[in-house]
Amino acid sequence: MSDAVVAIGTRKGLFLARSADGGPFQVEPIQFSTVAIPSVAIDTRGTTPRLLAGIEYGHFGPSVMYSDDLGATWQEAERPPIAFPEKTGATLTRVWQLTPSPSEPGVVWAGVEPAALFRSEDRGVTYELVEGLWEHPHREQWQPGGGGLCLHTIVNHPTDPERMAVAVSAAGFYRSTDGGLSWEAANKNIRAPFMPEGQQYPEFGQCVHKVSMHPSRPERLYLQHHFGVYRSDDFGGSWHDIGSPLPSDFGFPIVVHPSRPDTIYVLPLTADVDRTPVGHRYQPHRSDDAGRTWQAFSKGLPEGPVHATVLRDAMTASEAGVFFGTRDGEVYGSRDDGETWSLVASHLPDVLTVRAAVL
């Protein structure tokens, strides 16, 4: 087995955990101490893996750093890597998402706050605003969710660079078929129960928490909503509920198994008003039939009580395993598809994002 790395972005720094030949993970010393790391990416497309980190340098503002030696050293573009054009009147406040394109070598996408999409053609060093989304007629009516007005999810078609989608809190899911030049809202059949009667299926204004896709079946998407878990079989053309068998359909992350497109994971929280794990236990739920049925797996996890939330980007699945991090600074991993879990790291700051890869 090759070496594996888990990148853990926290409220106060970045941690890398590494495993050699399937052995236990060893957590390396903190990097960017006291700096918030809301987004990380592990780009394995080239001959040399590249780590990307969206950072928040306090009053110096947000930026993107990159490393080509697995975190030994970090670099930053000579000019601000992500900046809104002056004509927009906008100021970058956070880099929520960094996503290497699966179909365009060198292209990396960034989702930011205020909600906007940026594109890099130099593997994540510098970025340019995608004006087609910024100029969408809905944008001026978008309202922030609890975490802000953030573009937190980027879904790229694995072979067709013209097809892509994004999720914005609390605007909803939008898709493009022309590489980002134009966009359409794609929230059909998603219910927003907080809206008045007769207006509970709005075209936009949806609080989408996360969307995932498996590259071998790109038409099928999975969505964790503020109120519900959904699946689409036509790349967001329409959605249907798959969350009713769960003990709660409220949560933040939803991820797809790296090699089984019908296998998905969520981590249910009690409710919108009680954002603690169901039963005060971490119980990742797995479906092996695209959401028709679900089963909880918690062997190796604390028996409780636990109270910390798992955020939208703090769960991931890759060839290295399934991992999630909590807001009280613990990271757990599974190398048997979620059947059993073990502690990867503890006593970290508030975990914001987790990514893993085999190198």
For residue 83, the SS3 value is coil
With respect to residue 38, please indicate whether it lies within any of the assigned structural domains: no
Q: In the structure encoding, which two tokens stand for residue 118, read together?
A: 């940026």
Q: Give the residue from 130, 214, 243, 225 showing the smallest Cα distance to 187.
A: 225
Residue carrying structure tokens 């660079």:
161
With respect to residue 245, please indicate whether it lies within any of the assigned structural domains: yes
What whole-number distance in Å separates Cα of residue 319 and Cα of residue 215? 14
Segments in the chain forming alpha helices (H): 131-134
Residue 346: Cβ within 10 Å count: 12
With respect to residue 130, please indicate whether it lies within any of the assigned structural domains: yes
Q: In the structure encoding, which two tokens stand for residue 324, read together?
A: 């999630």
Q: Which residues on adjacent β-strands are paired with residue 155? A: 165
With respect to residue 84, please indicate whether it lies within any of the assigned structural domains: yes
- Give 104-154 pLDDT, tens digit per residue: 999 999 999 999 999 999 999 999 999 999 999 999 999 999 889 999 999
With respect to residue 257, please indicate whether it lies within any of the assigned structural domains: yes
Q: In the structure encoding, which two tokens stand for residue 160, read together?
A: 């067709």
Amino acid type, 353: T
Q: From residue 70, how far is each of 12, 42, 52 by CA, in Å?
A: 19, 9, 10
What whole-number distance in Å separates Cα of residue 326 and Cα of residue 85? 36
- Label the pairing between strands 269-271 and 295-296: unpaired
Q: From residue 112, how far is each of 34, 211, 292, 348, 356 by CA, in Å?
A: 21, 16, 33, 25, 21
Please, how many CA atoms are within 13 Å of residue 189, restricted to the half-sphere of its CB? 14
CA 206-208-211 angle, 5° bins: 140
CB 346 within 8 A of CB 329: yes
Q: In the structure encoding, which two tokens stand for residue 322, read together?
A: 């399934």
Q: Which domain holds residue 337?
A: 73-358
Amino acid type, 7: A
Number of domains in the chain: 1
pLDDT at position 22, please?
87
Residue 123 maps to which CATH number?
2.130.10.10
Q: In the structure encoding, which two tokens stand for residue 346, read together?
A: 């503890």
pLDDT at position 59, please?
78
φ/ψ of residue 140, rounded to 5: -65, -15
With respect to residue 189, please indicate whether it lies within any of the assigned structural domains: yes
| DSSP one-letter code for 134 | H
With respect to residue 63, please indicate whether it lies within any of the assigned structural domains: no
- Label the pairing between strands 50-56 and 208-213: unpaired
Q: From residue 263, how far is each of 4, 258, 280 by CA, in Å?
A: 22, 9, 25
- All residue ranges of the chain with pLDDT < 70 are 1
What whole-number distance in Å separates Cα of residue 103 and Cα of residue 100? 9
With respect to residue 172, please indicate whether it lies within any of the assigned structural domains: yes
